């Protein structure tokens, strides 16, 4: 029983790490996409105004 408990703990730890990494990556990607979209939007507005 002890060995299965240790294995279960390792699986839970790995899952937690994977979820944390994917959450961080998603946050970074969202931030980059937003900044790119904002810069493109401002460029389009400047072209329309000029």
What is the reported pTM?
0.59
pLDDT score, position 1: 66
Strand stretches in 1-50, DSSP E: none
* Residue 39's pLDDT band (cuts 50, 70, 90): very high
Q: Per-residue pLDDT tens for 3-30?
A: 889 999 999 999 999 999 999 999 999 9
Structure-model confidence comparison of residues 2 and 35, the more confident one = 35
* CA distances for 21 relative to 16, 26, 37, angstroms: 9, 8, 24
């Amino acid at each position: 029983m002890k060995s299965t408990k240790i294995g279960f703990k390792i699986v839970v730890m790995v899952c937690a790490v994977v979820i944390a990494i994917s959450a961080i990556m998603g946050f970074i990607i969202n931030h980059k996409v937003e900044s790119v979209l904002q810069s493109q939007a401002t460029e389009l507005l400047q072209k329309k105004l000029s």
